[in-house]
Structure 1
Amino acid sequence: MSSPQELPANWEKTFTATTAEQTHAFGARLAEVLQAGDLLVLSGELGAGKTTFTQGLGEGLGVRPGIISPTFVLVRIHPNLPDGPRPGGPDLVHVDAYRLGSAAEVDDIDLENTMDTSVTVVEWGHERVEHLSDSRLEIDLHRAIGLGAIGLGSAGTTGFAAEGASAASASLDFDGEDTDEPRTIVMRGYGPRWPSVPELGSPEGSSPC
């Protein structure tokens, strides 16, 4: 039997974000369709916007603010806020697996104990966390610099307006780099939880590219 890691993606969708606010807003909208037990695997080079995306995700889930990279502690848990936009919703577990060399080391931090009640977001989780769930969303964030054309504005991509992002997102950077260059966000769905692309909606003023 094939392992979850070996199974092909059900679908792949590419989006564009030209500012940190748009990356933040994309995360916030994705949060609306997430539920407890969902696993997200984030990939992207330094400064690609992984933390900015996760901050938007946390805002949409209505969890305790203050999301930063968990590099030095491996795991940060942000509990759901009873007065937030999704009271009674899932917590957010934010993991940085960069310094974890294998799936066995991931098992040592006991993510299984929180999976059922949380949305689990793992940075650098490729080939480390696929065994945790039979379904996952893989989200790759790419910077425009050094990537050539990367298909921005091409058929099949979708632009997202910044409308709907919080005022606080204006001060957010891309994982420590204060740039507003375009990002390409590639999302793939695996397993029975994600048979088709989630309907994220588009804020007023945005349109398919």
Structure 2
Amino acid sequence: MAEATLLYESVIATSDDMDELGKRFANVLEAGDLVILIGPLGAGKTTFTRGVGSSLDVEGNVSSPTFVIARTHKRTDSLEAPLVHVDAYRLGSPQELDDLDIPFEKSIVLVEWGKGLTEGISENWIEIEFERDHSGQTEERTVKIVGFGERWKEVSF
């Protein structure tokens, strides 16, 4: 397994702050990047991805791809790498993910529920873990971003 590098860890107070974190994170992304989003329902994965999409200037709205499994968002500048947003919750194996024919090397790919399905796709990837308080007393989320592989050793945001 590739060496892990902690890139970021913080408490995010609101959904607007989560969106802003996604926008900041988008600034370090490029074609070929694979991002695995880990966390329970309602933890902020799609809100974060909306922020990424906004910063990347994708066409249309970014929403959860739950029913379509994968949604490709073209960029306003069609020469830029598209954002591919995958909800792997209903996928049972890495083969099912492979069957989607996602052009990983030419896209920026964010995969919700991808842990255990994406190993072997890339030598470099990011795992973002979203944790939330289940008491309902706060909107706060803890976000931890870890990079794996050479690509992420020198990156900061």
Q: Same fold (TM over 0.5)?
A: yes
Pick from 145, 148, 154 the counterpart of residue 190 of structure 1: 148
Whole-Å Cα distance in 2 between the matches of residues 8 and 24 of structure 1? Answer: 28
Distance 1:73 1:81, change over 3 A: same
- Native 8 Å contact 2:22 2:48 kept in 1: yes
The answer on 1:122 being equivalent to 2:111 is yes
Task: List structure 1 runs of 4+ shifted beyond 4 angstroms.
Answer: none
| Alignment length (residue pairs) | 156
Work out whether residues 63 and 92 of structure 1, in 8 Å CA contact, stay in contact via their aligned partners in 2.
yes
Shift of 1:8: 4.1
Is the 8 Å Cα contact of residues 43 and 125 (structure 1) preserved in structure 2?
yes
Answering whether residue 51 of structure 2 is matched by residue 56 of structure 1, we say: yes
Residues 19-34 of structure 1: pairs in structure 2 closer than 5 A: 19-34=14-29
Structure 1 residue 117, shift from structure 2 partner: 2.0
Between the aligned partners of 2:20 and 2:7, the Cα distance in structure 1 is: 20
Equivalence map 1:1-209=2 (5 Å): 6-11=1-6, 13-82=8-77, 88-111=79-102, 114-146=103-135, 181-196=139-154, 198-200=155-157
Contact 1:95–1:123 (CA<8 Å) still a contact in 2? yes
Residue type at the aligned position of 1:199: S
Please state which structure has a larger fraction of its residues in strand. Answer: 2
Structure 1 position 11, deviation (Å)? 2.9
Native 8 Å contact 1:140 1:185 kept in 2: yes
Q: SS of the residue aligned with 1:110?
A: coil
Contact 1:59–1:65 (8 Å) recurs in 2: no
Change (3 A) 1:180 1:66: farther
Contact 1:19 1:180 survives alignment (8 Å) = no
Structure 2: which 5+ runs fail to align? none
Instruction: State the alpha-carbon separation in 2 of the partners of residues 11 and 180 from structure 1.
Output: 26
Distance (Å, rounded) in 1 between the aligned partners of 2:62 and 2:142: 22
Q: Is there any run of 5+ residues in structure 1 with no aligned partner, and where?
A: 1-5, 147-178, 201-209
Q: CA RMSD in A?
A: 1.7
Distance 2:54 2:8 in 1: 23
Provide the secondary structure at the position in 1 that maps to 2:72. strand
CA offsets 1:166-204 (integer angstroms, 9 cap, x no match): xxxxxxxxxxxxx961010011100111113x332xxxx
Query: SS state of the match for residue 2, structure 2?
Result: coil
CA shift, 1:33, in A, is: 1.0
CA-CA distance at 1:10 after TM superposition: 2.8
Question: 1:95 touches 1:122 (CA, 8 Å); kept in 2?
Answer: yes
Over the matched positions of the two proteins, sequence identity in percent amounts to 42
